[in-house]
Amino acid sequence: MRMSSSCVRKLRIRHIGLHGMIASTLLALALLGAPASWAQTFEEAKAAYNRGDYAVALESFRVLAEQGNADAQVLIGSMYHQGEGVPQDNDEAVRWYRRAAEQGHDLAQRLLGLMYILGDAIPQNAIEAARWVRWVAERGNDRAQFKLGSMYHQGKGVPQDYTEAVRWYRRAAEQGHAGAQNNLGLMYNKGRGVPQDAVEAVRWFRQAAEQGEARAQYNLGLMYYEGRGMPQDYAEAVRWYRKAAEQGNVEGQTRLGIMYEHGYGVPQDYTEALRWYRQAAEQGHAIAQGSLGIMYYLGRGVSQNYVQAHKWFNLAASRYSSSERELRDTTVQFRDKVASKMTPAQIAEAQRLAREWKPVQ
C-alpha cells in the first residue's frame, strides 16, 4: 500500500497536503483489498480531519499506525511536523516517518531525507542522516545530491572522499544547483577529487555567480584578481566582489575594502574602503577588523582614533584561527604599537569596548 505518485510530486516538505494524501490512501485501501475496518477507520479520520478535529483524526490514524500501517504512520508524522492537533514536534515527526520508511515506504523515505537536508531533523547520528539523504539523492533531488556531496567533502556520516564529493556535486551542478556549482569550482580550483584546473573552476564559479550565489561571486572575483583561469582584471574583480559584498558576504566586503584602499580597479577612496571594512568587521571577520584598526590608527577615511584602533586590533587578534598565526602576530604588534601612544584610561576604554562588542547577525 503506497501513496500515489502524483501525491509525491505535489508534496512540499514544509507544506504537506494531508487532504490529498488521505484521499490517495483511501483509494489505495479500497483497491488493494485492505481490511474493511482499516478503510472505515480511515474514513473516520478523514472526516475528523476535514472538520478540523485533529485530535480525533490523530487517534484514528494512530490505531492504524500501531497495527503497522505505513501510510498512517506517514500521516501522523505529517501532523507532528505541522503541529496539527499536537504541539509541533520534529522529533516525533521523524520517529513516525522512520517507522514507515523502514518498511520501505517511498514517501516516508523521501520526507525523512528532506527533513535531514533542510535541517528539520536532528539525526541520531550522521550515518543515519547520510543513509536517508542518499536515498533522496539517488532519485535525482539536487538538494540531496548537494548535501551528500558536502557530507563526502567533510567526512560527515561517510568516509571523507573528494572523488565522491565531486561526483555528487557534479550531479547537482548539472541540474543548476548554484551551491553545488560553486563547490565544484572549489574542488577544481584546489585539485581535490579532480586534477587541478583553474579554467574549469572559473566555468563553474561563473555559472553559480550568474545565479546570484554570493560565495561564487566572491570566488570569481578572486580568480579575476589573481589572474587564475583567465587574464588578470582588477575592474572585473571589483565588479564581482561588489555583487557578493552587497549580499552581505564578508569575504567580498573585505576584498572590496582592499580594492578601494589601494586603488585596484577603482579610484583610491579611503571612505569607501572604511565603509566596506566596517560592514565585514561588524560581522566578525578578523582581517576586516584588523584593516579597520589600521584605518583608525592612520586616520584614513576617518578621524584618527587610537581607542577604536586598539579595540579593532584586539578583536581581530582574538578571532584569527590557529592556522593564521602570522596574521595574528602582526595584528598584536599593531595593537601594542598603538597602545604605546595611549593613556591607561584610553587602553581600559578600548578593552571595555572590545569586551562589549557583539557581532551583527
Cell of residue 334, nine digits: 599593531
Q: What pLDDT is attached to residue 35?
A: 54
Q: Is the pLDDT of residue 2 over 50?
A: no
Q: pLDDT digits over 127-177, tens only? A: 888 888 898 899 898 998 999 999 999 999 899 999 999 999 999 999 999
Domain boundaries along the sequence of the chain: 1-122, 281-361
Q: pLDDT digits over 38-49, tens only? A: 556 777 777 887
Q: pLDDT digits over 307-355, tens only? A: 999 999 999 999 999 899 999 999 999 999 999 999 999 999 999 999 9
Q: What is the DSSP annotation of 104-146? A: T-HHHHHHHHHHHHHT-S--SSHHHHHHHHHHHHTTT-HHHHH
The whole-model pTM stands at 0.78
Q: Which of 189, 124, 119 is nearest to 157 (CA)?
A: 124
Cβ neighbours of residue 15 closer than 8 Å, sequence gap 6 or more = none
Q: Can you tell me the distance from the alpha carbon of 305 to that of 300, in angstroms, rounded to the nearest whole number?
A: 10
Rounded to the nearest angstrom, the gap between the alpha carbon of residue 310 and the centroid of all alpha carbons in its chain is 34
Q: Can you tell me the distance from the alpha carbon of 224 to that of 232, in angstroms, rounded to the nearest whole number?
A: 5
Domain covering 1-122 in this structure, CATH number: 1.25.40.10
By CB atoms closer than 10 A (0-12, 13-18, 19+), residue 336 is exposed
